[in-house]
Structure 1
């Protein structure tokens, strides 16, 4: 494909500036268009979508393309604005913003009403357009640079696995893959957000890809000879000799490049070492990307830069690190790799020090767009910025109340008896649960995509679902966008031209049995989306399924392919090439389910869980989980930062496989040892603690869900009753259910207030600079600070207590001053939890499922020391009557100066609403500390919906 660079220049367009009488813009609906005669950018448009929402589009063409956005919800907006010419600039003003556009170069500055710069494009406009043509369609590879002050921080970009949090001076490649969800939206600590409207492969922070080592460095082998690294291949397999060879690069990252590994060498029991030295061409900070499956360590300059990491052989992960290198200096490099599988992947790539014009700035790059589009979102807080994002991309739906409870899953329940037996195990042991999940392969082996059950294992699907409902639970089922070519559903798509063809043409076989040929449907076609839902509706909806699990929605047609082949496998789409429409499949697929169910059952809440996502996903009542992560402590830790950045990306519902999906062999072996001997060996001991710690964290995720490969994940299969792991898991499950009035209120707030449930500390304590890089603590709602423990055998951890408030220990009521680090206890059975001053937390009754009984008696904890408020939200929990105002809110306001709690007049009503209830008020203060006890004694109030003020003194 041919590319010609076109750069925006500072010095072009001077004729425009000298013609003072000429009007440099035209006013259009919702904004202005600025024409540039002598710049390579021909048109720039500012569209006013809100007092603090500005859409910027630019093109080097004579006219803007006619296409519409996939992520923006179209609606008529009539926002007042004015336009003036000020010197060499055009000033567009709303009630809250001033936007300055240079007529010399098209550069834009966003300012507040006082004229302070919030965000500015790089001097000269910062725009780059490179023509690109794919499948006879022309477009542009685009780049946009914004200035960024040193003290700026960036959050969002979706969910990634390198355990990075603040993306300032970092880079992230934005594409969809198992465990990686890319959302092109960032929120700055400067109280603005930027939504980058591109569906192509994109990059944030650095526009360049990682490159192979030998294209960047001079490399030397173990003996010091230039041109290669020394690769040593050994194995415990008998009769196989050690192999030594020279490697020009370490790039075995996909099905194509792994063919460069020694042919026929068995990897399953192998130990591989790559060693030598690298020599940098210039002094500076070099970024490295490690791609790995199996066990791996990296040593650079004789330091262990990457301690041992592991991923299952078929599902590699990326990890990034930075190293300062000196020009001309040889630095020893050693990679120790145990593939741990018959096919496995490994790679180490790097980037030279960042381009000067990009260094320290906010940079966006996308491979193929028709034009450049972004949305500037401003607010007085991160919450206001996210509210603006949802104004653009759609409101979050209130998830069904049962989704706030506990979900049990495994890979996989193989029979009707297994899934029903597991659910019965919860009910018999009185462990709360609301949802049980049927994973893939409930169909006959050669019938993927049939949506039909294997009758030998599931003889009565409707009876099975009825039995689940009779045990007061819901069932979610796995439905893939994948179809074997022999199924009638495949043929129905194929005859309409709605199946991706590359996998069929190449006879790509999957991993099931002998391997079967199939492909994915084209979710970009409106007709295909309707057919996809119809097939689900005809086959699965009638048996009473409650929720839908959309696996592999990246779409992952084939694991571990190179990027070019991935594009071939998932295109061309109905809208254009997969190069242009690379990242939005999950969004289109979610629309199919949401629109389909709301059409046939308009008052039944939709719930969809998908492995991928994109901007706007929240409008389709869809949540995302973090994919097939590993069962390692470092993977657990990475989920904290991953979940927090996903939350800041504007999509409020996220979850993960508690315990990790892909299991190390040692844990599987440990289960076998335990089954035979009943003794807990070292590995099984660690497995149990890992699961306990992960549940302690997971109970405070927006959605609480356990899932994974063998060993089984039900609490009693992890450890027996009486074991601290079992007791802790059950304890935090009960806590989740006792907090249901609080949690469901947060769910309501995601819709009414555009709220975010899982909150990095920077959201609530923006004035405390110390929290900007804290990625292992978070707020669950506005009141509870959660501090997961993610190291084996750790029995304490350091917690930072943000300034601006003081804190109470959840378990003891101990009072702790804000603005300090403190090493706190973290015994096996619990993680540190703290409540901020002014918090009001409602505690419901003991329940086994979310709608078992009404919360007619609520214990109300009031944490004194600051004024506080909380508004309890309730509705029918399962339908959309809330959209018509059928809901109720009860406001609570605490005045610390006079020590009074006012329970306000109830607003609204709904069918089945409690007209009267009891509140037991439990004040907690520095002088009177109290532990968080479910049924604590306190001042008892009967509330009938009318306002009451209670003295707590």
Structure 2
């Protein structure tokens, strides 16, 4: 009997011990009830933690639209002390206060990384016409001088996103992603798709969403800018390889009004010997009647032979992209099919008051229907790429936003900001399922977290042709790519030019703006000329010997010389979660002078680019005056640098003045870089890289991985590619070209020559390479 009571007492005390602590151990975390809510902390990986909070007993049955990662069973050490449960993985510690429900994060040394505010979670019940929801608010505390980036693409020109209030709802020119990344090496993704207000002030940093059932965010610790991007990609998906040709030059206009006009553009580029890889057909190829908006077929009589047009484009080694929208006119076949199945969202969109409505991209069958018409009407002709326009989408009727309209996933308010993610998803997944010989490539006007997995390159929208707007694109693009989406670009020259430049290309003031914008575009993931009012083809600006023509030709040719660097950087993005446009804190985290620079960036890991974003050479009479060279102030981060144009070596960690004649912008190469340069070509695949320049920038040890594959299919996913690791040993002054790695591919070069250059462009040595390791003493 005594033994029985002793055993009973042991069991009861053990039972009370677990529940007295007030938490429940889960497979990869803990769960508690506190302050009228359930709190779940779950490790998705040693570096990624999900924090989910909801009113007690009201578990939200939520499937994330952005997050693709699933939690895995992990070995997490749990310790309970003084009302706080601590969970420690191999990378960080998460602590949860059982009384307040507050969560905070520390590194393994015990340093505080990020913390919620005490009692910072709020659920305010609201009765929308579509049903009951909560306004969900989560507040955090940052260090007073902590610098953060992200929030998608905003047009305020700010690099550091502190001390502001932003309303995050998708619009033209405004991409809203509720994500922040800190210079301390962590990122936070607020997983809510309704319109959300971000606030940062002295009291707190918070996300407040108009509709939700829970507070749901992911904390990612990468330890650095690159590490945080890698964690975001691990959480939301990897970026596939674009085709090689997409890194060439693109010409576009709003719009080519006939197939003859479009074909003549290509003909003129080829006649002039100006490289070109992509041509874009904008809207109204379907009809000029808005009732047939986005019919997904050629109905305009000015395009009488679309198949013949595509064949002629391809015969000249150019690729075609076409504008496709997320909405349909009332007389189109897709509209009729979608309306019958109740798969339209009946709001007023562009074109305004034309009866055009967006489709419901949240519905799997609606995405099937969308692709079916796109395939039969356009893809089957041999179209190469998609311009998915208005993927926010445009939404008029400001006073009556109709956010209570139903979608497949519930009220539109609940999923509003994820519209571009789902729309791009439909096109990507359907083309991938249908064709493996042609990589999906999408140009799109909006984005949401995770969109990198759908081969989408987002452009900054219909921006004005103004110098101040031009400069703001730099910060907009850098903050966007910090969110883990590497491919971004902008309309070279700005979309709307007529407001300030009614004479267009006849105005020297516009020419100066355009060539400066094009110089910037050379160092973005997609070099694309586009706009309305003013035709942008190079020959519109004059002919050879005229400054506006010659500068464009110079930078277009530079773009093609950089193709080996660009394509290898793309591989680094896909394989190693790298980035093209890099905010300077990513490469110089200890240099606080770079934290808020809004007009400089790294392009890949070698180039420092400083676009010229102020007019210098147009006088008050709007005439060009290039006789006296002007200068621009440049901050060189803490490193040694080489002037790309002169080869001069310059010490960093200081401000300098660089002469900026109209035909160049400040570009520097980091000491300890290896830069591969390709041959002169008229299109990306015209010549194989049989004679490849390797320009060595000494000063530090350097490594570069040269990547090659079949350029435009998915065989690389099965190993059909090669890598050549090239290293520079600074101490030994020795270049090593490593053994060619990988299983190889059809058309692979078995032999080639490397022309080794110094920073001034002078040839040092020429070596033959057949795939075996070479060591060259310089």
TM range (shorter): over 0.9
Equivalence for 1:134 = 128
Instruction: Please give the secondary structure, in 1, of the residue aligned with 2:368.
Output: helix
Aligned equivalent of 2:100, options 77, 98, 105: 105
Q: Spell out, residue by residue over 1:809-835, the C-alpha distance to the aligned partner (whole angstroms, 9 max, x if none).
A: 111111111110011100011101111
Q: 1:113 to 1:472 in 2, by over 3 A?
A: same
Q: 1:567 aligns with which of 386, 391, 403?
A: 403
Offset of residue 746 of structure 1? 0.7
CA distance in 2, matches of 1:860, 1:566: 58
SS at 1:595's partner residue?
helix
Per the alignment, in what secondary structure is the counterpart of residue 365 of structure 1? strand
In the other structure, the counterpart of 1:30 is 28
1:213-272: per-residue Cα shift (whole Å, max 9, x none)?
xxxxxxxxxxxxxxxxxxxxxxxxxxxxxxxxxxxxxxxxxxxxxxxxxxxxxxxxxxxx
Aligned to 2:245: 402
Match of 2:135, SS?
strand
Distance 1:769 1:509, change over 3 A: closer
1:205 maps to 2:199: yes
Correspondence for 2:9: none
- Indicate the residue corresponding to 1:379 in structure 2: 222
**1:169 match:** 163
Residue equivalent to 2:13: none
Question: What RMSD over aligned residues (CA atoms) do the two structures have, in Å?
Answer: 1.7
Task: Look up the match of 1:494.
Answer: 339
| 1:454 alignment partner in structure 2 | 299
What's the offset of the Cα at 1:944?
1.2
Matched, 1:796 2:639: no
User: Any residues of structure 2 matched to 1:715-726 within 5 Å, and which?
Assistant: 715-726=538-549
Whether contact under 8 Å (2:28, 2:71) holds in the other structure is no
Give the Å deviation of 1:945: 1.2
1:351-388 Cα deviation digits (max 9, x unpaired):
xxxxxxx5253221111111010000001211010100
Structure 1 residue 670: Cα displacement? 5.2
Partner of 1:279: none
The answer to whether residue 512 in structure 2 is matched with residue 689 in structure 1 is yes
What SS does the aligned partner of 2:406 have? coil
**Residue 94 of structure 1 aligns with which residue?**
89
Q: Give the Cα separation in 2 of the matches to 1:622 and 1:455.
A: 28
User: 2:177 is matched with which residue?
Assistant: 183
Alignment partner of 1:910 is 2:745: yes
Instruction: Specify whether residues 778 and 360 from structure 1 end up closer, same or farther in structure 2 by C-alpha distance, changes over 3 A only.
Output: farther
Displacement of 1:397 after TM fit? 1.0
Partner of 2:423: 589
Corresponding residue number in structure 1 for 2:188: 194
How far apart, CA to CA, are the structure 2 residues paired with 1:502 and 1:771?
44
The equivalent of 2:287 in structure 1 is: 444
Give the CA deviation at 1:74.
4.1
Kindly tell me: are residues 566 and 472 of structure 1, through their superposed partners in 2, closer, same or farther at Cα, counting changes over 3 Å? farther
Of 645, 654, 669, the residue aligned with 1:835 is 669
Kindly provide the CA deviation profile for residues 537-568 of structure 1, in whole angstroms up to 9, marking residues without a partner as x.
1111111100011111111143xx42642636
1:55 is displaced (CA, Å) by 0.6
Q: Distance in 2 between matches of 1:390 and 1:143?
A: 25
8 Å CA contact 2:447, 2:458 repeated in 1: yes
- Kept in 1, the 8 Å contact 2:284–2:300? The answer is no
1:85 aligns to 2:86 (yes or no) = no
Query: Structure 1 residues 629 and 509, CA, compared in 2 at 3 Å: closer, same or farther?
Result: closer
Q: Distance in 2 between matches of 1:198 and 1:509?
A: 26
| Aligned mate of 1:151, from 132, 145, 152 | 145
Match of 2:706 in 1: 872
- The structure 2 residue matched to 1:942, chosen from 748, 768, 771, is 768
**What 5-or-longer segments of structure 1 have no aligned partner?**
1-17, 207-357, 675-683, 925-929
Q: 1:739 to 1:62 in 2, by over 3 A?
A: same
Q: Do the aligned partners of residues 863 and 670 (structure 1) sit closer, same or farther apart at CA in structure 2, a change above 3 Å counting? A: closer
TM-score after normalising by structure 2: 0.94
Work out which of the residue numbers 342, 351, 375 in structure 2 matches 1:510: 351
**Which residue number in structure 2 is paired with residue 474 of structure 1?**
319
| TM-aligned CA deviation for residue 598 of structure 1 | 1.0
Q: Give SS of 2:256's match.
A: coil
Contact 1:201–1:366, Cα closer than 8 Å, also in 2: yes
Residue 690 of structure 1: how far off its partner (Å): 0.7
Q: Which residue of 2 aligns with 1:220?
A: none
Q: CA deviation at 1:75?
A: 3.6
Contact 2:95 2:103 in 1 (8 A): yes
Q: Do the aligned residues in 2 keep the contact of 1:449 with 1:490 (CA within 8 Å)?
A: no
**Is this contact kept in 2: 1:485–1:517, CA < 8 A?**
yes
CA contact (8 A) 2:130 2:411 kept: no
The corresponding residue for 1:729 is 552
> Do residues 431 (structure 1) and 266 (structure 2) align?
no
- The reply to whether residue 642 of structure 1 matches residue 483 of structure 2 is no
Looking at structure 2, the residues matched to 502 and 162 of structure 1 have their Cα atoms a distance apart, in angstroms, of 28
Please, which runs of 5 or more residues in structure 2 have no aligned partner? Answer: 1-15, 618-629
Distance 2:687 2:697 in 1: 27
| Deviation larger for 478-487 or 832-841 | 478-487
Distance in 2 (alpha carbons) for counterparts of 1:157 and 1:510: 28
> Which residue among 539, 543, 546 is the counterpart of 2:381?
543
Could you say what secondary structure the match of 2:423 adopts?
A: helix
Instruction: Tell me if the contact between 1:904 and 1:947 (Cα under 8 Å) persists in the aligned partners.
Output: yes
Deviations 1:38-84 (A, max 9, x none): x12x2111111111100110011313211211100044633321222
- Aligned equivalents of 1:381, 1:913: Cα separation in 2: 36
Q: 1:118 aligns with which of 113, 119, 132?
A: 113
Partner of 2:625: none
Structure 1 residues 631 and 169: CA distance shift in structure 2, 3 A? same
CA apart distance, 1:138:
2.3
The answer to whether the Cα contact below 8 Å between 1:168 and 1:360 also exists between their aligned partners in 2 is no
Kindly state the Cα deviation for residue 885 of structure 1 after the two structures are TM-superposed: 1.4
Aligned to 1:361: 204
2:285 touches 2:303 (CA, 8 Å); kept in 1?
Answer: yes
2:648 to 804, 814, 834: 814
The number of residues matched between the two structures is 748
Are the counterparts in 1 of residues 498 and 534 from structure 2 also a CA contact under 8 Å? no
Q: Deviations over 1:506-562 (max 9, x none)?
A: xx8935xxx63221111111110111011101111111100011111111143xx42
Contact 1:169/1:361 (8 A) holds in 2 = no
